[in-house]
Amino acid sequence: MAATISAQTSPTIMGIETEYGITADPSFFEKHGEFYGQRELCTLLLSAHPSAKAKWSYELERPLYDLRGFIAKPENPDCSRYDREERPPIYDKMLPNGARFYIDMDHPEYSTPECTNARDLVVRDKAGEMIVNTAAERVNQELGIGVRIYKHNSDFKGRSFGCHEGYLMRRNVPLEKIITAMIPFLVTRQIYCGAGKFGSELTGENDVYQLSQRADFISSEIGVQTTANRPIFNTRDEPHADEEKFRRIHVILGDANMSEWSSYLKVGTTNLVIKMIEAGFLDNAPQLESPVAAMRKIARDPGCKETVPANKGNLRAVDIQMMYLEAAMRFASQVPPSPEDQHVISTWQETLAALAEDPLQLCRKIDWVIKHRLLSTLQRRHKWKHDSWSIRGADMQYHRVDPDKGLYHYLCREGKIDRLVADDAITQAVTSPPEDTRAYFRGRMIERFGKDIVGINWESLRFSSQVGGGAILFNPMSLTKKDTERILSTANSVQEVIAALATAASS
């Protein structure tokens, strides 16, 4: 899959947006009704998190802009998602750790700050679990309504919650090349980053175990949609950076992971594939005959033995992933990788070898394998039938973020899960932003001068009329700790920060 390598690749910038499932005691919904109850729960959750009273600015958001060069119609014109300018700050918060915590539709959502490597992104994603769970604990202590939070993608009632990824990429790479190279990779990567699910809402099957929770909800190959007719490759054109130079690859088909290793492989391998596409190294990627059908077939194959038709013959998902891995290894031999990328490649290689031989070898690392083994054990022990709500309850309980109640956390305490990152690093990331992206400046400004910020988003800060002006953050690699620590530690006002930045820019 090699071609001439281009020297031009964008800096590594990536993030994860997780839509959490939320519920409470039945009495709460009896009082408020299901839909308004969900909205009320989300409002209570956001209210429980202290933060600066900066109002989120939507002026640079454009969820209907399509990379193919047009503006799409709203999926649901009546949905408040497209009329958010009047929403109060309580619905949308930027946090001192550089992340965003907000309400989208009828669920809470947490977006990590911008990160430069896969391991740091896993840490920031796990910090989001702690932040959301702490807010739920505060609500329960104050109101006693039994709020429960789940990091999953399916509620067994036909609704799916998304876990989206974003990756920075040069805008001058032809879109068709990106789509052609990425679709087979995205379809098959579920063999190591799927979260696992018992049953299927799409077909009504109760006795099937799926690798991915999102596979049932992906129904097209290409499109800008995220809540209906969801595509494998999403074409939303919302770069959150200098739009003349960059685009953001917005991946919506992935699962929300509890396993640190699944999450690490998910973002690490995807980032490598994007770098190879930028460098012109994947011009001959394998092509699937029917990507949507292939995604669903692969999801229903815990043995990882089934094949799907492609232009290079009938191939297993493992075979296709091996092709991308081999390309990454050749790429690394010509463009020396960072130590983190080299670790991603070696982990990818070990994981695919285990999947090809026996997926159960990964029962301590990969979400769908961990959960498959757990649910199978519980089913045999308790003699549960396939359509039992006990199985579905245990399935969901695996994803509960409360460390005292969630089954994933229970397995961690029992020493049955292999960890990748340290708890101390996660705890620190709850309050501290990454030091090597613009998230550092944004987070520290919120921490020190939050009262003076009246508008904020990923690319800009707008200050109150008393202060005046603002700051533009179009470059995700600028305003890092190295660039701004001295300024932020000595300035006593926003005006002093602005003046110091102007002086530094002109020197």
Q: Is the distance from CB of 63 to CB of 72 less than 8 angstroms?
A: no
Active-site residues, by number, are: 104
Residue 227 in tokens: 């809540």
Residue 3 near residue 145, CB atoms below 8 Å: no
Radius of gyration in angstroms for the set of CA atoms belonging to the chain, rounded to a whole number: 22
User: CA–CA distance from 182 to each of 30, 77, 100, 275 (Å)?
Assistant: 45, 30, 27, 11
Measuring CA to CA, how many Å separate 76 from each of 6, 230, 314? Answer: 41, 14, 39
Whether 122 and 263 have beta carbons less than 8 Å apart is answered as yes
Torsion, Cα of 439, 440, 442, 446 (10° steps):
130
DSSP state of 288: B
Question: Which long-range contacts (C-beta less than 8 Å, at least 24 apart) are formed by 401-405?
Answer: 401/20, 401/129, 401/132, 401/133, 401/136, 401/149, 401/150, 401/151, 402/133, 402/136, 402/137, 402/148, 402/149, 403/133, 405/148
Q: Which two tokens stand for residue 423?
A: 């708890």
Q: What SS3 class is residue 175?
A: helix
